[in-house]
Amino acid sequence: MSEGLKSAVFRREREATWRRLQSLVRKAEEKGLRALTTEELIALPQLYRATLASLSVARDVSLDASLIAYLENLSLRAHLFVYAVRETFGQAVNGFFGETLPRAVRAAVAHVVLAGAALALGATVAYALVMGSDEWFYAFVPEHLAGGRTPDADVEHLRSTLAGGGGGEGGLAIYATSLFVHNAGIGLFAFALGFAAGVPTLALLFYNGAVLGAFIALFVSRGLGAEMAGWLTIHGATELFAVILCGAAGLMVAGAALFPGDRRRLDAMAETGHQAAVVAAGAVPLFFAAGLLEGFGRQLIEDTGTRLAIGLGIFGLTITYLALAGRERR
Amino acid sequence: MNAGARLYEEAAKTAAKGVRTLVTPEGAALNVKLASIGDRFGALVLDVLFIFLAIAAFGLFMAWVGSLGVPTLALIVWLLVFFGVRFFYFVYFEIAWRGATPGKRIVGVRVVDRGGAALTKEAVLARNFLREIELFLPMTLLLSGAGFGLGALISLAIFIWIVCLLIVPFINKDRMRAGDIVGGTLVIRQPKPILMEDLAASQTADGFAFTREHLAHYGAFELQTLEALLRRPPGPVRNDTMAAVHARIAAKIGWTRAEPSTEAFLRAYYRALREHLERQALFGLRKKHKHDEPQKPTAPEG
């Protein structure tokens, strides 16, 4: 008699598939995907698609609400396994540095240039103003950043701040680590600020550039330009580039929010946000390298030529890696 | 649409509140239940607690290591671990545990791609780096009092900005925070497994001869309401409700025969009604509820 009930027949024909998928999903939920055998791993997406097809049919022919709820529940639970992050954490890290990161940076060249320009503009403006009048220095550099390196200090004191030294080796290591933690935090902050239409990101870049420009002007005006260049370049080339990358990432998000083009604004932000996050994440190891260079390199190496060579060399390697790694083979 | 029908439409809409549809890459629509703000806040509190505990416990351990004669090394390792945990706790777990951190797992919520595709590591990175301004900056500001030694105006501006970010999940219907917007993700409730027996498969309509007239009064909504009633756990409330429903149905369809068992009648009527409605659906006549008058979609006009 129950032959007449179309949905019951439908269910009888397919129930075995559903039960098989159910047992696989339950196993994966309890013990993790790794507990599944190779055959089970191959079967999982097939069973998932068959169940999904059953769901579509059931929605059409069946008025059994609990059956539809069951199929929907099972499909969703399977979906969370079939369409989860597909890599292990190790593979994700590998793919990230091998392909994802350099490709994302290459695709974001325009934003990198824009972020760099904001920084350079800040530096130029502050440089010109401070060269014109020392008073401007105090406008750009807050007291705790200056640390005694002000226009009031005499040249010998300024020269001494450019030298290395300072503490035993232990002191340097702690210094380097805390620099890294601090700078990486600022960089990711610059990225996150992109969410606010990019204005705070540009302001942060401009302001960082201004502090830099003010310092350069101070030292150049005291005839310490060359030493300053060495002192700054050994870590600054890497660190500023990392700041610029983070800023560029923030600008990408802002750009997508302001000019979504023919995509929905939310879609545009999500799509661009993925690429931008990759660029910002790539800056983290750069900050780490810069922290080491600043904490150790700059303190232990005092020769300006060597400082310049190391700073520019590592910067060059970074650029080469970003420019060449992970290109599609032709 | 008459007033009664409108009522049904609204009931359906309320039932769908907090439910979103993911379209899988296969093109099937799956309904997911959004995690509530409370769920997500609970998960976040747990995760932040775990982060603090991990950092503190490791700090104690490193203090002990330091006391063995390598204080500098201990401090450096601790700083690096601090950084690693603070920035990558969420990223690591959302990749390795497929969208769930320990806090999320305990609460029973999960991150999924908004478009129904696979969750990518880029999405996980994006949604978690945004925590810098949503979570860690406000926490830093709170812990350090006035902020970064900034002027009152800037502090106020930052405060307003943070408040704006914190209300983002409350003002969009998908309860997305800023990180979810940039990451293209949703946070949903982890579905709990269900399996229920098919009511109709286990019973027959033997002894009940319902005619088309008997079955023409109700639609899918009433059928499923009846199904929900029959699935309720046994008890006096269920029995009373069934008796009342029996009386109403009998009055409406004109079933005058006295039934010894209310439940047997309702089960038989459920089965017969479902068979009737499913057959009608094959002809394109879908009666959604009792006020609905379905038209044949392909019926020629005039």
CB A68 within 8 A of CB A18: no
Residue B1, burial from CB neighbour count under 10 angstroms (0-12, 13-18, 19+):
exposed
* B228, HSE (Cβ side, Cα atoms, 13 Å): 8
CB A308 within 8 A of CB A233: yes
Q: How confident is the model at residue B299 (pLDDT cuts 50, 70, 90)?
A: low
Among all residues of chain A, which has the CA nearest to that of B281? A61
The closest alpha carbon to A245, from A216, A215, A275, belongs to A275
Among all residues of chain A, which has the CA nearest to that of B72? A170
- Residue B42: the pLDDT is 92
Q: What ipTM goes with this model?
A: 0.74
Cα A92 to Cα A98: distance, rounded to the nearest angstrom: 10
CB nearest B26 (choices: A52, A86, A271): A52
Residue B206 has pLDDT above 80, yes or no: no
Q: Which residues contact A6 (CB under 8 A, 6 or more apart)?
A: A61, A62, B275, B278, B279, B282
- Residue to mutate among B175, B182, B185, B271, with most A CBs inside 10 A, is B182
Q: How confident is the model at residue B104 (pLDDT cuts 50, 70, 90)?
A: very high
- Residue B47: the pLDDT is 92
The per-residue pLDDT for range B146-165, each reduced to its tens digit, is 444 455 655 666 677 677 77
User: Which one-letter DSSP state was computed for residue A194?
Assistant: G
Chain A, 4 to 33: residues with Cβ < 8 Å from chain B are 4-8, 11-12, 22, 25-26, 29
Cα A215 to Cα A209: distance, rounded to the nearest angstrom: 10
- Residue B202: the pLDDT is 57
Better-scored residue on pLDDT, B242 or B153: B242
Q: Which helix (H) or strand (E) holds B181?
A: helix B178-183
**For residue A108, what are its two tokens?**
């974001």
Low-confidence ranges of chain A (pLDDT < 70): 1-5, 85-86, 142-148, 161-181, 299, 329-330
Q: What end-to-end distance do the CA atoms of chain A give, in Å?
A: 66
Cα B73 to Cα A165: distance, rounded to the nearest angstrom: 20
- Residue A176: the pLDDT is 65
- Residue B146: the pLDDT is 44
Residue B140 has pLDDT above 70, yes or no: no
What value does the mean pLDDT take over residues B248-277? Answer: 81
Per the CB < 8 Å rule, is B201 touching A2? Answer: yes
What value does the mean pLDDT take over residues B159-187? Answer: 80
Label residue A37 left, alpha or beta by phi (over 0 means left) and psi (-120 to 50 means alpha): beta
**How far B178 CA lies from chain A's nearest CA (Å)?**
8
Residue B50 has pLDDT above 90, yes or no: yes
Residue B107, burial from CB neighbour count under 10 angstroms (0-12, 13-18, 19+):
buried
Q: Which residues contact B50 (CB under 8 A, 6 or more apart)?
A: B89, B102, B103
Which backbone phi and psi does B193 adopt, to 5 degrees? Answer: -60, 140
- Residue B127: the pLDDT is 85
Q: How confident is the model at residue B46 (pLDDT cuts 50, 70, 90)?
A: very high
B271 contact residues in A (CB cutoff 8 A): 5
Instruction: Write down the residue that tokens 């997406």 correspond to.
Output: A45
Which backbone phi and psi does B30 adopt, to 5 degrees? Answer: -120, 130
Calculate the average pLDDT of chain B: 78
Q: Which residues are bridge partners to B31 per DSSP?
A: B21
Angle at A141 between CA A135 and CA A147, to 5 degrees: 105
CB B147 within 8 A of CB B141: yes
Quickly count: other Cβ atoms within 10 Å of residue A211's Cβ: 18
- Residue B232: the pLDDT is 80
User: Which one-letter DSSP state was computed for residue A2?
Assistant: G
- Residue B103: the pLDDT is 92
- Residue A261: the pLDDT is 80
Q: Which residues contact B244 (CB under 8 A, 6 or more apart)?
A: none
- Residue A168: the pLDDT is 47
Instruction: Find the range with the poorest average confidence among A255-264, A280-289, B46-55, B202-211.
Output: B202-211
The closest alpha carbon to B185, from B47, B49, B35, belongs to B35
**How far A71 CA lies from chain B's nearest CA (Å)?**
9
